[in-house]
Amino acid sequence: MSRLVIVSNRVASAAEGKRSAGGLAVGVLDALKRQDGLWFGWNGKIEDTADPEVAFHRIGRIDCATTGLSRSEYDLYYRGFANGTLWPTFHYRIDLSRYDAREYAGYLAVNERLAGMLKELVGEDDRLWIHDYHLIPFARACRRLGLRNRMGFFLHTPFPPEGILRTVPPHRDLAEAMCEYDLLGFQTRGDAQAFLDYAQRRLGLPRDGDTLRGPSGPVRVGHYPIGILTDDVQSKSKARSRSKLVATLKQGLQERKLIISVDRLDYSKGMVERFNAFERLLESRPAYRGHVSFVQIAPPSRSDVEGYRHIRRQLESTAGHINGRWTELSWTPIRYMNRAYERAALLSFFRASQVGFVTPLRDGMNLVAKEYVAAQDPEDPGVLVLSEFAGAADELADGAIIVNPYDIDAMACALDQALDMPLVERRERHEHMMRVLKDNSIKEWRDHFLTDLEPPAVAA
Ligand SMILES: O=P(O)(O)OC[C@H]1O[C@H](O[C@H]2O[C@H](CO)[C@@H](O)[C@H](O)[C@H]2O)[C@H](O)[C@@H](O)[C@@H]1O
Ligand SMILES: O=c1ccn([C@@H]2O[C@H](COP(=O)(O)OP(=O)(O)O)[C@@H](O)[C@H]2O)c(=O)[nH]1
């Protein structure tokens, strides 16, 4: 029988429900919960052994197989090409991107090693679903080893337009490697279109509707916006709304309104601009001084990559400056926390807040935006202020207040509008967004992708 085999750099840890601060692991775990399958990838550890092995653990019905990375693999593949070159470029930050041919060679080598390990674990009928920018050449490595399985690839980040992609020297090799998959999935129509444009113009591939004629066969291209377990988020946030943590949060607020943001500490998330917008609100509308608090939860991420160390210093100094200027004996305007919370706790914080402030400069989807909406009390919902550059804006534009995260004044106005929005309008907007989230939950994401991965029916 055919099994679903998921391959991603990040695999959820054995203790399901443990703190997890990344959307890919959260999304894949939710998608696999209802189905038997195998999930293969990195165990998150640096292990200096000449002969890395595969270890197995189970999360519910899911078998997980993981392996370590050696120090040099970690440096070249994860810290180097994946997060020092591809991540910034795919988020339109070519100023933060660098290129080193040795890192690219290391990236290819890790893909080959992982493909070799996976070969021993899969049957010939298994469907392979590969995730994210770490593993672009994975299908090509598998094909070279003789694997003929159907293979689909889903990119969780944005895919940039040609002019930006071409700043990565091996751009052509990467795009050709993408054409070894049977199906390529992107978060938004715009991302899918950017890839199709590149493949047609630069690789000269003929196109038939949503399918490219690649050198090794047809490559179907589509967009599959990742969703959440909407009902589950709703019930968890309600169940936790009377927890000790929420009581502590409310005690600290003392009836003040709460603006909340949650992001991995990443330069793509637009946190400096967001802090500045909050300060602009205090400057321009004095009535809010002492009456609104902003909580930013930002667990550290990839802290051994230079761009991340820099943004951390910048945020510390910006938050310090704003709090130094505005804090009163009984009120601290920004509470900036570099720690992760369990997801259920975050959902209960969302429900206790009046505004979800989600303003990335660029983001593949941003699951926090969707979780914020689903976590609200439908009778008295908070308002989502959302960047137009988050993938989630394609679906939530009619219910959220959409902002340009580079426009500090406009973001301050949006906060004012959100804090002051009448109940009737908040309910209408929330209802609208909930319909969208229920119609495109994580189940639809998985089912649409896997249906499209099936081979086309052969005419009798
Ligand atoms: O694995 P890490 O290096 O610790 O980083 C965490 C994950 O970050 C990124 O998540 C993306 O996927 C989300 C779900 O589709 C999406 O909402 C978000 O916009 C993306 O940024 C990254 O793409 C993952 O590979 C990482 O595991
Ligand atoms: O302290 C934290 C911070 C984040 N998250 C979860 O991590 C995911 C972040 O996904 P998102 O798509 O917003 O961004 P990413 O970090 O993947 O770029 C969401 O499900 C959050 O609820 C969490 O569980 N604990």
User: Which listed residue (91, 131, 363, 430) is catalytic?
Assistant: 363
Question: To the nearest 10°, the Cα dihedral for 114, 117, 121, 125?
Answer: 60
**Homologous superfamily (CATH) for 230-439:** Glycogen Phosphorylase B; (3.40.50.2000)
- 453 vs 447: CA distance, rounded Å: 10
Q: Is the pLDDT of residue 220 over 80?
A: yes
Question: To the nearest 10°, the Cα dihedral for 363, 365, 367, 370?
Answer: 120
The reply to whether 452 belongs to the active site is: no
pLDDT digits (tens, 9 = 90+) for 128-157: 999 999 999 999 999 999 999 999 999 999
Confidence of residue 17 (pLDDT cuts 50, 70, 90): very low
pLDDT digits (tens, 9 = 90+) for 243-255: 999 999 999 999 9
Instruction: Examine the predicted complex and report whether its ipTM is higher than 0.90.
Output: yes
Ligand 2 centroid to Cα of residue 11, in Å, is 14
Residue nearest to atom 15 of ligand 1 (CA): 156
- Rounded average pLDDT over 169-182: 98
Domains 4-223 and 230-439 are alike in CATH topology: yes
The reply to whether 75 belongs to the active site is: no
User: Which listed residue (91, 156, 223, 430) is catalytic?
Assistant: 156
- 420 vs 353: CA distance, rounded Å: 13
What CATH number should be reported for the domain whose range is 4-223? 3.40.50.2000
Q: For the chain, give every domain's residue range.
A: 4-223, 230-439
Confidence of residue 21 (pLDDT cuts 50, 70, 90): low
Q: Which residues line ligand 2 (CB under 6 A)?
A: 19-24, 26, 262, 264, 297, 299, 340-341, 343, 346, 365-368, 371
Ligand nearest to C-alpha 157: 1
* Mean pLDDT over each residue of the chain, to the nearest integer: 95
Residue nearest to atom 24 of ligand 1 (CA): 24
Percent of the chain having pLDDT more than 70? 97
Q: Is the dihedral of CA 368, 369, 375, 381 positive or negative?
A: positive
- 89 vs 164: CA distance, rounded Å: 7
Whole-prediction pTM value? 0.97
Confidence of residue 14 (pLDDT cuts 50, 70, 90): low
Instruction: Work out which ligand 2 atom sits closest to the CA atom of 365.
Output: 12
pLDDT digits (tens, 9 = 90+) for 279-328: 999 999 999 999 999 999 999 999 999 999 999 999 999 999 999 999 99
